Structure 1
Amino acid sequence: MTTGFSPKISGFSARGFVTDNIATTNSETHNKDHDFKPASKTINASIELTRNAKYIVSKLPATPLALKSLSDPNGLIDGNTSYGLLISNESIYTWNYNSVDGVPNTVQLPVIPSNNGFPPIALLVLPSAGSVEPGVISINSHTGHVRFYENISNASSIGLLKQHKGIDYLIKLYDKEFITFAEAIEPAGIIFTTSTGRLILLSFRDAAGKPHITTSEISGRKTSFFSSYLHPSKQIISIKAGPTVAQGERIVATITTGGNFQIWACARDGQSREIYQHEILDLLINHIKELYPAAQYGLEVLDFALLKDVKDADVFLVLTSFQTSDNESVYVLFTIKKEQEVLLIHSVYRLNTISEPYGERKPSLHVPSPGTTAFIVFENTVVLVEAIVKLEKQISNHRRKWEDIISFRSDISIIASSNDSETTIPAINLIAPKVGILRIESLNHVEEIDEQQTVSPVVKSHIEQAVFYGELVHQQEETNPIEFGLPENFNIEQSEIENDVLEVAEEILLSKSSYLPPRLSGLESHLELRKEKLEKLVEYASINFHNKIRNEVKISLIFTLEKITSALNLFKIITAYESNAKVVSIFDQTVKEFFSNNPELLLSGLDKLEIFLSKFLERLSKAKGLEDASAEIVKAAYSSILEVEKQYRYGLFNLSLDDISKDLPWFVHGQTYIYIDDIFQNYTNKYRDGQFSNQKSISSEITIGLAEILFYQLQQRILWYNSTSPKTREITDIINNDKAFYNAKSGIWTKTLVLFNAKTEALAISETYEDLKSLVEISDEDRENASSNDEELDRINLRFDHYFNKFGYPFAETLYNYYIHTSKYQALFFGFKQYNSYLQRFFAENDHGKISWIEDILNGDFSKASKVLLSVSNKNDESQSNRQLQLSIAKLSAIASIDESSIDHESQDILQDIQEELDLSEAQDAIWEQIKEFIRSDSDPLAQVDSIVKDLLNPIYKSSSIFKNSFERALSRLLSYKSLSINEIIDIFTLLNSSKTSTKLNGYYALKVLHLSNLSYLEKCINETLIWKRVILSDDWVRIFNNEENKSDEYIKELNEQTVLYQTLLNFFRDELYILNNDYSISLPDIKKLILPISQPDNLLEKYKFLSSTEVNELLEEIQTENQEILEIFTLTSEFDQWIKALIGTANENSGVKKVIINYNDLSIQN
């Protein structure tokens, strides 16, 4: 092997790959190799399929019929001749792909002899002297037969051309050897490889340029004589021609899958030789194995390209890959510089846009002049990557290069590719069967590339191309062969996708996109165009980014489509009213608040559309005589929003109501819904009376539209504000106000629809927005109206069944509340027995005990009925008569529940509780009996209370404030026939003037009420002290003690037994009120304990809950006054406490029941 280069061909020969256009002194080579100019390009006739800032993809017009009709052909496209080849097992088709004809002149050449049922290897060669058309060489890969058509037009007319010397030739092949690959390297000829690893040069012209075929072996076979198998790593997979260095001699570089890189000097005279060889696979692996360990076990070379435009350096690019899994491959580009005999890796770059393993065809690498872009061509994908054009400084391996990907539809395959040598920018041409010739031109210019260059937004570029050039995948009428979606395995950040999608949307909305014309013939056309493009954008995002962007981004995207749609419809309706000066004036006036003119709003101001509409509708809602115009404007601007929401938000993206936008929906801005409601009311009031025979259907349609707009607006506002966190006071107020507005208005909207003969629509809207109250009211009215029509009633009952099944308990709850509110108890209990479980739950979860006991009794659950009635009766807002009725029924139910079981302690306890409540009720009746004769006949409640207080309040307390107030409060409720609380009953009994009511038992009644009560322990203690003190103060102790002297014992005994205190004690012992009940037992009155100061004043609030903290001090003073009154009695007799103990003993003796044992030291009852 020769390792050094001769001075004539040092390096890659005259700076290697760089000097591809070196002139030679030989006239023949100069004429054929460098003077040939292919037909002029037809760029202007091509169809632009897409473009962005970095590249253009176009389809050339010339498409031969064979390209459409052949099944699975091979192909070749040659940038040096501007001709293409299609190769089948029977024919070779060639044509000028730069022809302006849609169906170009196509030459068909026969394949003779047959290539064993396979297409032959065919190549285009430069025209011979005096010709402008290239020649064709066909090689039978299995027999070695070669046929040379020197000129394709003449070949077509001459036929087989067997009479021409040198046209046919036979390459000698070994047994089972076949030709695998061929490449034209004129002027030296054609170089090809075989399955045994041989490298053979075929020359097809002599030194004079005449057809003459000879072959010479450059490299021998790599297999043994006993086997034709060549290991794939040793197979040459790419041959690239370098510069022409002498007459009939050219530098050629080859590389194998295993990385054997060789440079050859190939001579037409057969004197070819190897001038450089290096195994580069280990060099490549060692460079990346730490980052990519999998490369050690499967790195393979796919292709390479000579970087001819790098000045003063021999540089080439190597494309490699290795698999990381069955479904993923890593593609790596190595930039390698040759310095003398050493290969140095200059930079390494991993492709980011593709990771799918390649198919049957290995990807090919092209770096067309001026070398700024590398094109990697896969079977139906082309990756474009920034290429190195200068080596002045080291380029960081970590710098992200510009990269993009062009994908074609899955039914399209690329069968051939080549550099386009006629353009001044990097370009390649592709052959795609069924489609035609595609040209990709890179706009990545040399002067633009530096280390600081920012990466082009790939996602945004693809989105824009899809929107402005592409047809969507699911549309059958698709004609654009490009698939604009990003590959599934394209590694890109979610935020980048989201930002780019929204940026494209905003640019279209505000007319900022460079793909949009600044103006069209009219504003409506421009709005239509932008609407169409935004629709494409939304659909593209759904197909390509459905699971890659957040739902809130999808909603934001839909909002932009809604704005353009609303603006378009608004423009149309305003145009329709252009003869209405008032409408136009309001519109222009509102526009001028935000913009200089109307076009500015519709072209670049739609980001402020919500603010504009809110102000516009506010003015319309207040304008007189514009009811029709205002309603139609609202419907035009907002009904389209609902349509977009239905079609795209809930249809295409399949979002739910729980999916909330980041920002408040634009169409519910400010108080827009209030203005729309005003317009709704103005419009419906105008036509409510039905005097609109000609307008009837129109009015109904508009009313329906406005109602649904209002429902949706309120729904979206409430949902959005409810989703916010944290909820400030302001947001909470907004939610409450919106809900109050909705609750107040929704029924009006639906009932208005019914008035406008749109009951069906009213029900549909109510069902959609779950306005259950309207569903109930409309349907129940229908049910009542259909009571005499069995068929209609069955239909309405089916409607109820549908609502029960769809909405479940919430509907049932709404229905039951409606029946209770309207007192339709029969319908409540007997209307829908099949859903009785809902009714039971309703009563269990809601405070409707006043009627729920009926359901319990109907179900035979007497125990539950008694409990419910007992609970209801304990509520102070009940009237006394109702309470007594409830307790009476409760008692009967409790008795019935006891009868139906042998031993039911719970029912017996309930019965006892009911009886106690009846006793308390009787206590209230006892109060009524005492005061009824003092009630004034007039109906003034305050005057009645004042009169009774004046007549019956114990004189001791008339100067008090708190005690007097509590007495007045209790009397007020009593006179209103309300049930009194325990505290209120005790207050009245103990504050009444016994001398006026002619009863001495009020203290006893108070103690009995306390004994039966279930008050808290603290309340009972406070009340017990209060009762005993007030009992003591009810007697005239001055009269009693002044009459003691010189009186008989019998008289004194009789006087004592007439006191309120004695009568209270006597009945206390008779009713055994000292026995523990409800965890409390009443003590005997120990006068010294009764007048002790209160240690914790706030405890008084247990009884006097209506007092403020400042009033507690006032109450303490009144209690102290009460205590002082008792202490005054001791001035009459110092042994007053002993005298009370004597009364206690006498009452105990005279009670007529089993006497108790009393410890008179502390007045405790021992047994």
Structure 2
Amino acid sequence: MFSSATTNIPAASIRTSRRRQRPLSNEGSISQPPTKRQRSTLNKETFVPPDGRPLEMTETKTSKPVAALVRQESREISGPQKQIAVRGKKPRTGDRNNKGDGSTVLTANDTYTVSRSISGPEKLLLANTASREHGSIHSDSGYALILSHTHATVWPYSKPPTEFPPYVFDIPHPSKHVSDPLPLGCLVSPSTSSSEPGLVVVIPTSGKITYWESVDSAATIGLRLRQNNIELSIPGMHSGETVIQILNAETAGFVLAFSTGRIAYMNVRDGQGRPTISVQFLRGGSGSTGGGIFGSLRNVLSTSAYRGDIAAVRADLPRKVGERQVVVATAKGKIQSWDIQRGGHSSLNAEADGRETIVQTIKQAYPAFSDLLIETFELLDFAFTTLPTQPSYSQASDGIPLLLLSSLTDRDVSHYFLVSVALLQSGLTINKIRPIKSYTIPVNQDAISKTRLYLPSPAHFAYVVFDRAVAVISMEAQLEEAQYGSPHSQLMTESHLSPQTFEDVVFFRDDAGIEVVGSGMEEPQELSPHTMGIFKPQGHKPRFPAAVLLVRGKGGGIVRVAAPDYSNRTSAYTQQVTAKSKLEQAVYFGSVKENPISFSVRPELPFLASELSQAALTLSKDILCSRNPHILSVQPNFADSLKQRSVALHDLAQYLKSSGVELDRATRWKLLCDAEKMAAATTVWNLHDARVSAKPKGEKRSLITDIVESIHEDYKTEPVTEEGELDRVRKWFTCDVSTFQIAVPWAWQVIKHTYQDGHKDHAFVVEMLSDANDVVMGVLQTAFVFRTANAKLYGLQAEPLEHGVLVADYEGLPEFWTSTNLIEDAVRRQLQLAHELVKEYWNKPQKQGQPSVAVVNKLRNEYPTLVDMGIRTSNERIRYCLSRAQDSPQFQIEADQLRLTQEEAQDRQITSLQDDMAWSDEAMALAEKFEILKTLARVTFVELNKTKPNAKEVRKKIAHYFDKFGKRWAAAFYELQIDISSMDTLLDHFQEQQEYLTSFLRAKPEYAKVAWIHEIDRENDFDQAAKALLDVGLTREQNVWSKKIELSIGKLARLAGERHIDSGWTQDGTC
């Protein structure tokens, strides 16, 4: 960029006309009343170039009118125009409130918020690769700008598109080739005749400049008139040279940067404020501006090494009307500071080459980067900063404070750094270096928009905008150090280290065609020192410092990244990205419709497995207890609040699974149990809501009301009456779902306490029991069904589940909430009470004062389901206790006692279904389901003997049991026949399953007195019969007479077997 002849001595100013310059309308201290606004008459004499033109300055000549500004709904009208009166648009009254603008929060945490508003052209939302576009945000005027090869689009991005449609301009003399660089554009401060900004557009390859004085004048002139534009071709451009950046440095003017490293001053108004375009190249830059062929040749030779080298051109805060300080930086680290005045006066006041110094300082401060090559260094962008570079900061002594964004690349990984420097006349002073650790993707050289650094006032946060990501970096630590200072901060300053404060990156999705095509920054008006009243924002009042992006693609729009609550944070050192905050963002915002943000786990921010596990558990508990600000605990329909939390838990599990987060087994089970509680709470709330809604006014209570009121205050959250919380039940479902298991035992306890308090009326007890059954079944049945359906979602698909209950391998797992000792005991007692009441009142005429027949029938109908839940709960508790038996003998004792108790209870419960409630099919189904084979044999045999017409169906079931359970069923079935002395059934029936009987009897020597008959009668095996008889006679029989008989028959059987063998008879009786 810079010529070898350039020195650090400021260049002489370029003289311009002595004509007294007229200040712009908004630069004077006294503004004219709006009622006396003058018309600006534009005619042929308006654009006559003034005398005394400075060196290499060219102004526009008379330009014929060109219809370039077209509203979307207007039609172009042709015809010459000699004189046009541009009438200012009537200013709108009142400011438009930004609230309710339809913006959508895309993600948020305690530090920043990302929101999207669809307020511009709809083509921003389309990933149309056939059309290339880029743009910029001009928050000082409240407008956004998008440029394609053929059109420029301007619209107030903070206002509704239906009320403020965009202005669309046809660009004169567009580029010839689609592959050419896109036009560059910039908004211009409003003229005296309009409240809306103007627009200047530059064609990079040809240097054609077009200026519109106001973006909305055409709408106010009338349908028969057209707006004129001013045009100019940049003189002195070299072959192959292109314009790469345009900078608004008003009130001084504009600055153009070129691919050859040259920079030029541009103005769009003359000394009297009339529209005219003038361009002049600045002397002292890297490219020579000498005239003639030799000058051009010398320029090409001296700047070939810097071609396309300019990284950024920025203007400092406007300190004086008509003057701006402009800094130019190249990718190789050269930095120049210019003082530019309106009219073209310019002087170079500082210049430095900082590449070697920056790279050496980085390597000294961070030895891990010592192997990176200096040739990979690149300065990407910079920002003026009001941050003191030292506690004793003053611009006069410490130079121009800058924050540089630089990078060093190692193969496919780039390391980015924020370097705090001061540009002096003697060189560059480096103060602090802060590495960016959360983003290591190399800069996309094919990106439409360049990487940009923004440091909006009050400079608490820096925003680095990449093509598909935005880094949010806290700069507050430097403010704290500068204000308070400390020995620690002094040591870090001497070593050029910057404390590692908050840092996070918002990534955009790769699969949605998302692309950042332009950006800008917003500053609160009371904090912004940049505008000096140059623009009239027309109601646009940014509330917080932010980076604003033009995002193109599916889900795109105006995306605002803001860190608003800087005043509420206690210290910058405590802010860090946590695993929990990342999970929260994915859970609460991952389901936003067409969210362009990617929430996938990034390698730049690795978290330990233990951190992720703990974060997931904490977030899950926060959702259960409504402790997260993203959970709306107060909603008109409380069921919607429960649904929102259920969806959040599902999204958490889905994100953990899709992201491949490695969680330990215990954490997965805990997360699943939390989701089960939420599902169970939803079911019970619906029961409660339906029950209460059906009751008349004044009786809006249910069993859940009694349960909540009975729970001790230590186990529930009391409503805050001062905040209008009056419903205890709603408060419990809002804040105490994490301890929802307490509802099951308390359903039984409420019945017990009510009965003990004197409410012994059976009709009342039956009603309460009916409600308690609804609660117990609603909780447990929902939990077991949910567990079975969602085990895969939580990565537990390999777990051996049986009816929602883990079969084995309880080691290392917490106590299951569905089978605490209180729940297991309460369900068993509730079943016993239900059995007694149904047995007492079912299928009997109702008498006065007795329970309702309908309620008793309900108890009978739901009893099988209640038995089902009781068996599952007991089995789960027994298995858990056995897994903990090695840790504590108490668990072994509990498991043994509970097993005996449960065997008796489940046998009694199932048989009572058949004996007392006429539920034979249900009894057989439950016994078969849980493989309680002894009970199954009993109820099946009873049903076989009781239902002669259906005996065939029962026999089919028995045959099915033989096929399903094999020898285990045979043992249970045959032992029952022996116990009840049903020898005919044992020996003569079910001959199709004879092999099971043979195997059973041979395995049971104690049944030899029956086995020998079966061996001879069914198996024709005399030897086996003899063996059985001799064994029982010699070893088991105590009665002498019986022993003689058994031994005698045994001998006869043996002789008979030998005779059969000698005669050729087989064991099956054939010859």
Judge same fold: TM > 0.5, yes or no. yes
The match for 2:434 is 348
1:614 and 1:669 in contact (8 A); partners too: no
Give the Å deviation of 1:569.
5.1
* Corresponding residue of 1:421: 523
User: Who is 1:276 aligned against?
Assistant: 352
Q: How do residues 578-977 of structure 1 correspond to structure 2 at under 5 angstroms?
A: 579=699, 587=707, 590-591=710-711, 598=728, 601-602=732-733, 604=735, 609-611=740-742, 613-621=744-752, 623=755, 624=760, 625=762, 626-647=765-786, 650-651=789-790, 652-653=793-794, 655=796, 656=799, 657=806, 662-688=813-839, 689-691=842-844, 694=854, 698-699=858-859, 701-724=861-884, 726-753=886-913, 769=930, 771=932, 792=953, 796=957, 799-800=960-961, 803-804=964-965, 850=1008
- SS at structure 2 position matched to 1:715: helix
**Does the alignment pair 1:531 with 2:670?**
no
Structure-1 residue corresponding to 2:183: 121
Equivalent-residue separation in structure 1 for 2:146 and 2:959 (angstroms) = 70
| Structure-2 separation of matches of 1:753 and 1:820 | 24
Question: Structure 1 867/287 Cα, relative in aligned 2: closer, same or farther at 3 Å?
Answer: farther
- The 2-side partners of 1:834 and 1:91 are apart by 89
In structure 2, what is the Cα distance between the partners aligned to 1:870 and 1:331?
A: 94
**8 A Cα contact 1:299 1:322, kept in partner:** yes
| Cα distance in 2 for residues equivalent to 1:324 and 1:431 | 30
- Note if 1:85 corresponds to 2:145: yes
1:277-298 deviations in Å (ceiling 9; x for gaps): 2225633652477324674499
- Which of 197, 214, 221 is the equivalent residue of 2:279? 214
2:76 maps to none
Shift of 1:836: 9.4
Q: Please tell me whether residue 45 in structure 1 is matched to residue 111 in structure 2.
A: no
Aligned to 2:501: 401
Q: Deviations over 1:370-424 (max 9, x none)?
A: 1111223344443322115435346555954223344555524432221103355
- Superposed CA deviations along residues 442-481 of structure 1, whole A, max 9, x for unmatched, are 1352684646x323564434555566x53627xxxx3655
Greater shift after overlay, 893-902 or 808-817?
Answer: 893-902
Q: 1:193 to 1:743 in 2, by over 3 A?
A: farther
Displacement of 1:426 = 2.3
Cα distance in 2 between the residues matched to 1:569 and 1:720: 31
Residues 570 and 633, structure 1, Cα contact 8 Å, conserved in 2: no
In the TM superposition, residue 732 of structure 1 has moved relative to its aligned partner by 0.8
1:568 has 2:685 as partner: yes
Fraction of identical pairs, as percent: 18
Give the counterpart of 1:62 among 95, 119, 136: 119
**Is 1:329–1:356's contact at 8 Å kept on the other side of the alignment?**
yes
Gaps spanning 5+ residues in structure 2: where? 14-20, 33-90, 289-295, 528-543, 720-727, 800-805, 845-851, 1063-1071
The aligned residue for residue 94 of structure 1 is 154
How much has 1:193 moved relative to structure 2? 4.8
Q: Distance in 2 between matches of 1:900 and 1:284?
A: 107
Which letter does structure 2 place at the counterpart of 1:432? V
Equivalent residue number for residue 138 of structure 1: 201
TM-superposed CA distance for 1:95, in Å, is 0.2
Residue pair 1:319, 1:333 contacting (<8 A) in 2 also: yes
Report what 1:109 is aligned to.
Answer: 169
**2-side partners of 1:68 and 1:316: how far apart?**
35
Q: Alpha-carbon deviations, 1:466-504, whole Å to 9, x = none? A: 66x53627xxxx365555665476312333333333334
Gaps of 5+ in 1: 10-24, 903-1167
Does 2:655 match 1:544? yes
Question: 1:802-861: CA deviations, max 9, x gaps?
Answer: 734xxx876676667666666778988999999999889988998878478899998899
Name whichever of 227-236 and 727-736 sits farther off: 227-236
Deviation readout 1:203-239 (Å, 9 max, x if unpaired): 4444444321314264339999999998999743433
| Shift in alpha-carbon separation, 1:147–1:263, aligned structure 2, 3 A | same
Contact 2:261 2:307 in 1 (8 A): no
Tell me if the contact between 1:61 and 1:99 (Cα under 8 Å) persists in the aligned partners: no
Change (3 A) 1:296 1:229: same
| Corresponding residue number in structure 2 for 1:944 | none
Please give the TM-score of this superposition, normalised by the length of structure 1.
Answer: 0.63
Task: State which of 27, 49, 60 in structure 2 corresponds to 1:31.
Answer: 27
Correspondences of 1:299-314 after superposition (within 5 Å): 301=378, 303-311=380-388, 312=393, 314=400
Matching of residues 451-600 of structure 1 within 5 Å: 453-456=573-576, 458-464=578-584, 470=589, 472=591, 478=593, 487=602, 490-515=605-630, 525-526=637-638, 528-546=639-657, 547-563=661-677, 565-566=680-681, 568=685, 571-572=688-689, 575=692, 579=699, 587=707, 590-591=710-711, 598=728
RMSD over aligned Cα atoms: 5.3
Does the CA contact (< 8 Å) of 2:10 and 2:347 recur in 1?
Answer: no
Q: Match of 1:310, as an amino acid?
A: L
The offset of 1:44, in angstroms, is 1.9
- C-alpha spacing 1:333/1:690, structure 2 compared with 1 (3 Å): farther
For residues 1109-1162 of structure 1, give each alpha carbon's deviation from its aligned partner in whole angstroms, at most 9, with x where no partner exists: xxxxxxxxxxxxxxxxxxxxxxxxxxxxxxxxxxxxxxxxxxxxxxxxxxxxxx
Q: Which residue identity does 1:414 align to in structure 2?
A: V
Q: 1:317 to 1:784 in 2, by over 3 A?
A: farther
The CA deviation at 1:667 is 3.9
Which amino acid is 1:92 matched to? A
Aligned partner of residue 119 in structure 2, secondary structure: coil
- SS of equivalent to 2:873: helix
CA distance in 2, matches of 1:146, 1:770: 88
Tell me by how many angstroms 1:427 deviates. Answer: 1.2
TM-score of the pair, normalised by structure 2: 0.68
Q: For 1:638-686, what per-residue CA distance to the aligned partner results, in whole angstroms no more than 9, with x for missing partners?
A: 4234324433564142533257584323343333333322322333443
Letter in 2 for 1:668: S
Question: Cα deviation per residue 1:312-360 (whole Å; 9 max; x = unaligned)?
Answer: 365444445567786x7655444445575243251323333x5566655
2:30 and 2:137 map into 1 onto residues whose CA distance is 19
Q: Which has the larger radius of gyration?
A: 1
Distance 1:887 1:836 in 2: 26
Q: What code does the residue aligned with 2:522 have?
A: D
Tell me, what secondary structure is at the counterpart of 2:523? Answer: coil
Structure 1 CA distance, aligned partners of 2:1001 and 2:29? 100
Whole-Å separation in 2 of the counterparts to 1:171 and 1:249: 24
Deviations 1:80-126 (A, max 9, x none): 32211223343221101122455532101113323323573232223
Offset at 1:276? 2.5
C-alpha contact 1:40 1:98 (8 A) present in aligned 2 = no
C-alpha contact 1:866 1:893 (8 A) present in aligned 2: yes
State the one-letter code of the partner of 2:667: V
What residue in structure 1 maps to residue 537 of structure 2? none
Distance 1:32 1:779 in 2: 104
Q: Any idea what the Cα deviations from partners look like across 1:867-895, whole Å, max 9, x if unmatched?
A: 88887777658766777777778778988
Quote how far apart the aligned CAs of 1:587 are.
Answer: 4.7
Residues 136 and 683 (structure 1), Cα distance of their counterparts in 2 relative to 1, 3 Å cut: same
The 8 Å contact of residues 185 and 199 in structure 2, kept in 1 or not, is answered as yes
Mean alpha-carbon deviation: is it higher for 738-747 or for 480-489?
480-489
Which residue identity is paired with 1:630? L
Measure the CA separation in 2 of the matches of 1:816 and 1:35: 110
